[in-house]
Amino acid sequence: MSITALLFRWREEPMIYALLQLNMGQQQTPNTIKWNWKLNPTVHLKSILKSTFILKLLCFYMNFAQQNQKIPNLSASTLLPKSNWKLYSDLMMAVKEDRIVCPLLWVVSFYCDDPNPIKFYLCYQTHCLNLDPSIIGMLYDRLGRSIPMRKLVGIVQFLYASSLLLHLVIVKQINVQLEIPNEVFALCFSSLAETIAQFKLLPFLVLFANLAPPGHINPMLQFAKRLRHKRIKITLAVTKFLFNTMQEFPDFVSMETISDGFDEGGRAHAGSLDEYLERFGRIGTKTLMELVEKLKNLDCAIDCIIFDPFLSWGFEVAKKSGLLGALFFTQSCAVDNIYYHVYTGKLKLPLSDSEIIIPGLPPLEPKDMPSVIYIHESHPAALKMLVNQVKHLGEADWTFVNSFYELEQEVIDSMAKFSSVKTIGPTIPSMYIDKQLPDDKEYGLSIFKPITDACKKWLNERTPRSVIYVSFGSLAELGLEQMEELAKGLKASNKYFLWVVRASEESKLPKNYAEETLENGLIVSWCPQLEVLAHDAVGCFITHCGWNSTLEALSLGVPMVAMPCWTDQSTNAKFVNDVWKTGIRTQPDEKGIVRNTEIVRCVEFVMDRDEGKEIRTNAIKWKEMAREAVDKGGSSDTNVDEFLSALMNPPI
């Protein structure tokens, strides 16, 4: 294996600050250079290649490596005139940083391995920086989109294979007989072969359109990261209001905005959910169409729209624009299946039976159904919105679900009768599960600021599996009485606890509760949940069983105490308790309140009792199965590859 191939496994994507410094001849800080590079990396790459100093340095490395097979110590006086000593000194200081030395060695080793400037430029651009060559992209956008992909790929492969035969021409010196010097022929041949080869990396663009809740956006972002890792360009479209309220922005996608008609205040400024959805559908359709046209005019034409099912009109936009339309469900397949049976009338409301039978699902009681179905008159607008998610199930070109096949095999096989469901989850940052994306350590978007350092420090001081972690997500709200019972239960458990109480919920805490429990408890307004769940000190997760939290606990092997609040959470809790058996579901009293004694019972069962050993064992089992699903060749990874193959090879 060549040096280059080995370094492909090791590469990172930082900026080569020192090279830019020398090339631009400016006194710039690393932060400034990083910012400039982000603005136009292609321009800086071209300028690097034009730099006489860089080429001399690379040639020096090449010659020395060929003779000694190792990298030498450099002497500034032998390489640089005195006028450049200051720049050289800055270079040596910068190179000491890991984020600089890694790509620097990549550049040097690649040049030693194959000293061809054209190859170096194109290979570094496409393989290391994940950039598509602008000229190739322009040619494809302008000339190639009308050609069926299967035919285009076949032509490219044939031309590339033919270009390799040109080696015979130079070996047999046929070019000399035609009065073409070897140097000229070699340069032309290399350029031709490399240009043709770049068509193997065609610039496909996927647009993600999403509604506001972060519980929907973060899974989409993680899916986008997987696609970006496989060389697909991503644009994320969110509402203007959400964009303006984001605490941080993902740096691996292009961000665009659409309007929901309430740009200043979002959903809160609408008189009702019905009014919000009606206006969003009308104005959102218009602004999404405008965005598609805008990108097309900028030579960034979209190939596929992946949309949140709440935005059912996203499918109409895709079809009117002649694009692929893909659904992305952020709920479990089980819940999607339930909504489908309600939408098609196969499950009648109100529920009249004490046991509900739906193909692919275990027998369900009414309390196991999503709350808008169980108490279907409680939130009619929400029921309509949730059920209408499945409107295009079976019509969409692709249907993605944030789950994994092994977790919901029976329901996925059952749904195959009316829709080809492709699971691509769990969509959590790669470093917590399969580690295929080494820099993927967080979601990249948050509407709350986590208290990270305090949480980590506090957990580091606790023994393994001794802490109860409590969080009810970004939206769920507990009533005052339920909040008091939970507080009493945590205090009575005599265990350490880390409790996330959002700022909007703090007033419901008992008076002086934080001070009274300071010895055993830590209460924060928000925390880095993945880091907490992955910490050895955490032995139990009291959760509302939102689907994201449920998947995170499953993927990190943490037993759960389920306290569902509304929508799909009761169905998730049913599966946690009875199907996957990775937790226990709390039992509320006749008033619907989970009492403090019940909380203590469930915590002790999961963390301490012998009867809870099966739960703790199953938690580890599902953790491993989740990792295998997203790892290379796993069920979810295979589904992503199938999508990419279909994107590149649409039906003729």
- Ordered DSSP codes for 253-265: SEEEEE--S-TTT
Residues 6+ apart with CB under 8 A from 580: 407, 554, 618, 622
Is 124:183 a contact under the CB 8 Å cutoff?
A: no
DSSP-assigned beta bridge partners for residue 399 = 327, 421
**φ, ψ dihedrals at 520, nearest 5°:** -110, -20
Tally of CA atoms within 13 A in the half-sphere of 388 that contains its CB: 15
Specify whether 216 is catalytic: yes
β 560-562/538-543 pair status: parallel
Token representation of residue 301: 């034409």
Look at strands 304-307 and 205-209 and give their pairing: parallel
CA distances, 90 to each of 36, 41, 94 (Å) = 18, 21, 6
Cα dihedral sign for 499, 500, 503, 506? negative
- Exposed (0-12), middle (13-18) or buried (19+): which is 320, by Cβ within 10 Å? exposed
Choose, from 216, 341, 392, 535, the residue flagged as catalytic: 216
CB 618 within 8 A of CB 581: yes
Active site (annotated) includes residue 376: no
Altogether, the residues listed in the chain come to a count of 652
Four-CA torsion 59, 64, 65, 71, nearest 10 degrees:
-100
**Of residues 514, 506, 526, 402, the one with CA closest to residue 454:** 526
Task: In whole angstroms, give the CA distance from residue 482 to residue 471.
Answer: 14
Q: Which of 308, 368, 434, 568 is catalytic?
A: 308
List, by residue number, the catalytic residues: 216, 308
